[in-house]
């Protein structure tokens, strides 16, 4: 077994002096080569081809840029109100700008309606005559009913009077007469009896004759019979005559009341019939009159006037799914409720733009905005945010993916006369403005471990300086610490960038709480207390597992960080999972897109918040 050489008193045991000399030469060569390599990192030739930018101080605006299209906030659809199909006889020229309400737009053919109107007038007059006749018949029936009821009431009153007269007058009188007759008969009978007794005594004594006695006996018998007849008459009066008369009067009263009720019922029935007939004739007249008014209204709507100011746009313009593909013009037959003209109000123009979900939280109502329309890119319009969508747009739902878009509506202030609905536009919303902000291009900031760094050109040397980053506007980054005005920084990482040591920060930085990700404007407001490049996680949420990023180059890592900061996590994960060859091709495509955007900005003189329609590139 070979043993390791031992060093003793400055000598290596087991090695000859020639070997020691060779080792010394090798060590010196390695040290010289390392010094040469480190010196090349800081020589101008190592980064002379990399573009630079100055660290500047000035007004810093955080803008959210989005594309969209113009539309009118108030568009009126003018439809044909005529039944069936009616020909357009006259129509105002498309594109005409209407200045006020009441201006002529369309004349539809209403000749058939006019004929129907004349016939309907005859129907209305006939129905009116029938209604008036029914009204007179109703009045006559009401008068007849009143007379019949008066007669029936009079008969009922008479029957009640007769009944009360008999019960309270006739019957007591009859009963009293019969009772008095009995009393008189009994008194006459008593006198006849007394006379007979006296006559018998006188006859016994011989004072009167027998004939006188017989006369007294006859009188006695007569008055006895009169008493019996009077008594019997009272019994007959009470048991038969009174009951019969009382029943007759009761029946008469009952019949009179019944006749009154029958008269009342007949009157109500006749009145109801007369009223129903009148109501039917009245409703028939009303229906005929409604038909006439409807025809007259339709004839009036045959001439369509402007409801207010706006632009005349034919409904057939730009519609691909119309049932009738014929263009709207003179001779066109419009169906009922078919839109003929759409009138957008050009004084109330708004822009509908779609903002990615990563930036929609920055936008609030009443924030100022600048608009550029593709038709006139040299003109800048002013506006303000009027609404922010609470849910993603339908296109975002259908398209799926990780990036959702929310609709933001921006109202144009004092829209010019040439502005039209449907024009493509770009909107830049000012979400934050910082005065005297230290700033560098976004391409100059790179992630390094748990912090951000910039490569500062110091004469012929290159320094790796830690920086404290704030918000960005897709072009510039607000620097809170680490740089000074006038310094020059690289816009791309130099070769072997990881071998350049990071200098100690000249500002106090809080402890980083997460891997550094450059802030892409994910939150508005002051950012002096935010950890540079740090992302926070809400309480109670578990951290998601990120794919392995150890194989990424610094340039690829920077693109991944920016994609994640913008909420495009799926795209960042897809880039990480690519093979090295695929990532090289993707990075080349992004560098080309970024260069093209830079050239476009230089050609257009656009110093604002980014180029419209750009795809995510190296720094943006």
pLDDT of 331-361, one tens digit each?
Answer: 898 888 889 998 898 889 999 999 988 888 8
SS3 605: coil
What's the CATH code of the domain at 472?
2.40.420.20
Residue 414 within any structural domain of the chain: no
Residues 81 and 145 in one domain: no
pLDDT at 29: 45
Mean pLDDT of the residues in the chain: 79
pLDDT per residue over 149-171, tens digit each?
999 999 999 999 998 998 888 88
How many domains does the structure of the chain reveal?
3
Coil, helix or strand at residue 342: strand
251 lies in the same domain as 203? yes
Mean pLDDT for 21-27 is 45
Which tokens hold the place of 319? Answer: 């519609």
Helices 580-604 and 554-565, interaxial angle, to 10°?
A: 70
| Mean per-residue pLDDT, 98-109 | 91
Tokens for 362? 């920055």
Using one digit for the tens of pLDDT, what is the confidence trace for 420-432? 998 999 999 998 8
Q: In the Cβ-directed half-sphere of 188, how many Cα atoms lie within 13 Å?
A: 18
Instruction: Work out the average pLDDT over 461-473.
Output: 89
Question: What is the enclosing helix (H) or strand (E) of 105?
Answer: strand 104-108
Residues 238 and 190 in one domain: yes
Residue linked to tokens 């502005």: 419
CA distance 207 to 204: 8
Q: Take residue 589 and report the two structure tokens written for it.
A: 């495509």
Quick one: pLDDT at residue 395? 63
How far apart CA 87 and CA 334 sit, in angstroms, is: 6
On whether residue 207 sits in a domain, the answer given is yes
Q: How far apart, in Å, do the first and last CA atoms of the chain sit?
A: 62
Segment 108-114 long-range contacts (CB within 8 Å, at least 24 positions apart) = 108/80, 108/82, 108/301, 108/302, 108/303, 108/304, 108/334, 109/302, 110/82, 110/86, 110/298, 110/299, 110/302, 113/82, 113/295, 113/298, 113/299, 113/302, 114/299
Which residue is listed with tokens 């109000």?
345
Tell me, what DSSP letter sits at residue 170? Answer: I
Q: And the tokens for 360?
A: 């929609």
Report the 10 Å Cβ neighbour count for 491.
Answer: 18
CB burial of 320-332 (b: ≥16 within 10 Å; e: otherwise) equals eeeeeeeebeeeb
What whole-number distance in Å separates Cα of residue 12 and Cα of residue 5? Answer: 6
Q: Are 496 and 43 in contact (CB under 8 A)?
A: no
Q: Give the pLDDT band (50/70/90) at residue 577.
A: confident
Give yes or no: residues 443 and 580 share one domain: yes
The span from the CA of 454 to the CA of 288, in Å, is: 88
Q: How far is CA 151 from CA 140, 155, 157, 259, 496, in A?
A: 17, 6, 10, 10, 128
Please tell me whether residues 80 and 132 are part of one structural domain: no
- Tell me if 130 is assigned to some domain: yes
Mean pLDDT is lowest, of 288-297, 410-419, 578-587, for 578-587
What secondary structure does DSSP assign to 327-354, as a single string?
Answer: PPSTT-EEETT-EEEEEE-TTSEEEEEE
Q: Coil, helix or strand for 407?
A: strand
Residues 48 and 173 in one domain: no
Considering the domain boundaries, does residue 298 fall inside one?
no
Residues 99 and 130 in one domain: no
Query: How many CA atoms lie within 13 Å of 379's alpha carbon, on the beta-carbon side?
Result: 12
Strand partners, 476: 441
Q: Residue 247: pLDDT above 60?
A: yes
Asked whether residue 49 falls in the same domain as residue 143, the answer is no
Q: Which of 118-122, 495-499, 567-571, 601-605 tops mean pLDDT?
A: 118-122
User: Which residues 6+ apart lie within 8 Å of 84 measured at CB?
Assistant: 335, 336
Q: What distance in Å separates the CA atoms of residue 497 and residue 558, rounded to the nearest whole number? A: 13
609 domain residue, yes or no: no
pLDDT of residue 407: 93
54 in the same domain as 175: no
**Confidence (pLDDT) at 522:** 33
What is the 3-class SS of 423-459, one letter each residue? CEEEEEEEEEEEEEEEEEEHHHCEEECCEEEEEEEEC
What gap in Å lies between CA 208 and CA 326, rounded to an integer?
150
pLDDT of residue 550: 67
Position of tokens 């069936």? Answer: 84
pLDDT tier for residue 84 given thresholds of 50, 70 and 90: confident
Indicate whether 20 belongs to any domain: no
Instruction: Give the mean pLDDT of 276-289.
Output: 94
Q: Which residue has the higher pLDDT, 506 or 12?
A: 506
Contacts of 66 (CB under 8 A, 6+ apart): 353, 354, 355, 408, 426, 427, 429
For position 570, what pLDDT does the model report?
Answer: 74
Query: What CATH number should be reported for the domain holding residue 80?
Result: 2.40.50.100
Stretch 71-96: mean pLDDT: 90
Does residue 499 fall inside a structural domain?
yes
Question: What tokens were used for 26?
Answer: 């090798």
pLDDT of residue 216: 83
More confident residue, 3 or 489: 489
Provide the pLDDT confidence category of residue 533 given band limits of 50, 70 and 90. Answer: very low
Q: How confident is the model at residue 197 (pLDDT cuts 50, 70, 90)?
A: confident
Verify that 309 and 262 share a domain, yes or no: no
Regarding whether 149 and 61 lie in a shared domain, the answer is: no
Confidence category of residue 553, pLDDT binned at 50, 70, 90: confident
> Rounded to whole angstroms, how far apart are CA atoms 484 and 578?
39
- Taking only the tens place, the pLDDT of each residue in 292-336 is 999 998 899 899 999 988 889 998 886 655 555 678 889 898 888
Domain that holds residue 48: 43-67+434-533+551-604
Q: How far apart are alpha carbons 534 and 314 in whole angstroms?
A: 55
Q: Which of 40-44, 464-468, 502-506, 511-515 has the lowest mean pLDDT?
A: 511-515
How many of the other CB atoms lie within 10 Å of CB of 183? 12
Within a domain: 377: no
The pLDDT assigned to 126 comes to 95
Give the whole-number percent of the chain exceeding pLDDT 70: 79
Q: How do 488-490 and 451-458 pair as beta strands?
A: antiparallel
What are the structure tokens assigned to 237, written together? 């009066």
How many residues in total does the chain contain? 620
The residue behind tokens 């004929």 is 115
Is the same domain home to 273 and 336?
no
Place of tokens 């009204």: 135
Looking at residue 197, which CATH number applies to its domain? 1.10.287
Say yes or no to pLDDT of 220 above 60.
yes
Segment 106-113 mean pLDDT = 91
Q: pTM value?
A: 0.49
């Amino acid at each position: 077994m070979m043993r390791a050489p031992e060093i003793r008193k400055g000598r290596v045991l087991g090695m000859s002096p020639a070997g020691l000399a060779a080792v010394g030469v090798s060590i010196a060569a390695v040290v010289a080569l390392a010094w040469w390599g480190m010196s090349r990192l800081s020589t101008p030739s190592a980064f002379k081809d990399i573009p630079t930018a100055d660290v500047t101080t000035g007004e810093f605006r955080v803008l959210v840029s989005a594309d969209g299209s113009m539309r009118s906030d108030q568009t009126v659809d003018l439809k044909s109100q005529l039944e069936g199909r009616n020909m357009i006889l006259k129509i105002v020229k498309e594109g005409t700008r209407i200045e006020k309400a009441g201006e002529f737009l369309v004349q539809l053919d209403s000749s058939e309606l006019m004929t129907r109107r004349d016939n309907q007038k005859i129907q209305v007059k006939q129905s009116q005559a029938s209604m008036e006749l029914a009204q007179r018949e109703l009045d006559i029936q009401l008068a007849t009913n009143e007379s019949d009821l008066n007669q029936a009431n009079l008969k009922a009153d008479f029957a009640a009077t007769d009944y009360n007269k008999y019960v309270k007058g006739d019957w007591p009188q009859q009963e009293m007469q019969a009772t008095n007759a009995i009393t008189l008969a009994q008194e006459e009978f008593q006198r006849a009896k007394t006379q007979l007794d006296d006559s018998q005594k006188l006859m016994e004594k011989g004072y009167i004759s027998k004939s006188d006695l017989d006369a007294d006996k006859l009188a006695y018998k007569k008055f006895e019979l009169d008493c019996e007849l009077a008594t019997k008459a009272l019994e007959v009066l009470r048991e038969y005559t009174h009951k019969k008369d009382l029943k007759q009067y009761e029946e008469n009263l009952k019949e009179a009341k019944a006749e009154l009720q029958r008269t009342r019922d007949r009157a109500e029935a006749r009145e109801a019939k007369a009223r129903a007939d009148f109501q039917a004739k009245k409703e028939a007249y009303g229906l005929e009159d409604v038909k006439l008014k409807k025809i007259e209204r339709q004839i009036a709507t045959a001439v369509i006037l402007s409801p207010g100011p706006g632009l005349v746009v034919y409904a057939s313009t730009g519609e691909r799914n119309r049932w009738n593909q014929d263009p709207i013009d003179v001779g066109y037959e419009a169906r009922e409720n078919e839109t003929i003209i759409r009138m957008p109000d050009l004084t109330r123009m708004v822009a509908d733009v779609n903002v990615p979900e990563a930036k929609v939280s920055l936008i609030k109502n009443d924030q100022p905005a600048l608009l550029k329309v593709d038709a006139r890119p040299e003109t800048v319009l002013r506006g303000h945010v009027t609404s922010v969508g609470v849910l993603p747009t339908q296109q975002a739902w259908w398209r799926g993916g990780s990036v959702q878009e929310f609709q933001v509506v921006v109202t144009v202030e004092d829209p010019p006369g040439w502005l039209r609905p449907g024009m493509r536009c770009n909107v830049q919303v000012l979400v934050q403005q910082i005065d005297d902000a230290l700033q560098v291009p976004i391409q100059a900031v790179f992630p390094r471990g748990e912090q951000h760094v910039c490569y500062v050109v110091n004469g012929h040397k290159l320094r790796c300086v830690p920086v404290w980053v704030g918000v960005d506007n897709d072009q510039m980054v607000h620097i809170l610490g680490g740089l000074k005005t006038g310094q020059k920084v690289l816009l791309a990482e130099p070769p072997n960038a990881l071998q350049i040591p990071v200098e100690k920060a000249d500002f106090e930085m809080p402890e980083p709480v997460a891997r550094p990700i450059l802030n892409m404007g994910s939150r508005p407001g002051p950012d002096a207390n935010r950890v540079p490049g740090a992302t926070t996680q809400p309480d109670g949420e578990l951290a998601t597992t990120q794919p392995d990023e150890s194989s990424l180059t610094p340039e690829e890592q920077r693109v991944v960080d920016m994609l994640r900061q913008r909420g495009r996590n799926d795209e960042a994960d897809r880039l990480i999972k690519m093979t090295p060859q695929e990532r090289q091709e993707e990075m080349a495509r992004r560098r080309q897109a970024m260069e093209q955007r830079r050239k476009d900005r230089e050609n257009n003189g656009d110093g604002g918040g980014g180029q419209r329609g750009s795809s995510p590139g190296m720094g943006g």
